[in-house]
């Protein structure tokens, strides 16, 4: 089945599911939402529907998500295409995070290695949105196309960075930051990894106190490091 026919079929099925699950009399605004489908598959689109049944249904079918409010450490790496880029389906990413406790905070070093499959030399410009705990402070970075900006979004701090990748080559991005996350004495360190909705499964490696946990992130995952 062609990609276009597949997406059309998904649209029809989703319309029917929404009619049954939410009991809407009019689906005009939902049809407008679904018209953004081609953008959703290639870019990261954040939409708040302010409707719990619809939001829950979209999350169930991996078409939407929400940022979790947790007291643990937190990381959510989103990669979006910027104008002129090609399909994101060929994008691969390895996310390596190491952390330690310093002065009642978590000090983190993060390295994100981006790679596109194939040998097409055409460059692709990407936007990275790196969600971390609220009030985290960026200390330094390397490998980005321009400077990294910090912002607040949905109760998180988000670092915004541009990166350029070419087919068959790797592009590393590194950054360091502090987060106001405490690790109670005698308890283990925890971090919640949230998956970008609609993306390929990125590989994650998380290190803490000499221990390393590896995961191919196909769903939101809470990692625990025993004391």
Instruction: List where CATH 2.60.40.1170 sits in the chain.
Output: 73-225
Question: What is the architecture of the domain spanning 73-225?
Answer: Sandwich (2.60)
The predicted-structure confidence for 26-67, as pLDDT tens digits, reads as follows 444 455 455 444 444 444 455 556 666 666 666 666 555 667
Whether the model pTM is above 0.75: no
The predicted-structure confidence for 133-158, as pLDDT tens digits, reads as follows 999 999 999 987 777 899 998 889 99
Q: Are 215 and 223 in contact (CB under 8 A)?
A: yes
Q: In degrees, to the nearest 5, what angle opens at C-alpha 45 toward C-alphas 44 and 51?
A: 140
């Amino acid at each position: 089945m062609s990609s276009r026919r597949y997406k059309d079929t998904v649209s029809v099925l989703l319309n029917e599911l929404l009619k049954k699950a939410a009991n809407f009399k009019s689906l005009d605004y939902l049809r407008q939402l679904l018209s953004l489908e081609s953008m959703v598959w290639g870019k990261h689109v954040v939409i708040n529907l302010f409707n719990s049944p619809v939001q829950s249904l979209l999350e169930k079918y991996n078409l939407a998500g929400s940022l979790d409010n947790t007291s643990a450490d937190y990381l959510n790496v989103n990669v979006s295409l910027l104008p002129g880029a090609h399909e994101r389906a060929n994008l691969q990413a390895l996310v390596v995070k190491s952390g330690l406790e310093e002065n009642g905070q978590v000090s983190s070093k993060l390295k994100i290695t981006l790679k596109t499959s194939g040998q097409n030399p055409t460059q692709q410009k990407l936007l990275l949105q790196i969600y971390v705990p609220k009030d985290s402070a960026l200390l330094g970075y390397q490998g980005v196309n321009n400077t990294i900006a910090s912002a607040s979004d949905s109760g998180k701090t988000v670092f915004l960075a541009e990166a350029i990748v070419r087919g068959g080559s790797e592009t590393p991005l590194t950054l360091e930051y502090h987060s106001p996350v405490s690790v109670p004495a005698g308890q283990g360190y925890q971090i919640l990894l949230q998956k970008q909705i609609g993306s390929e499964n990125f590989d994650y490696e998380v290190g803490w106190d000499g221990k390393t946990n590896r995961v191919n992130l196909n769903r939101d995952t809470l990692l625990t490091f025993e004391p």
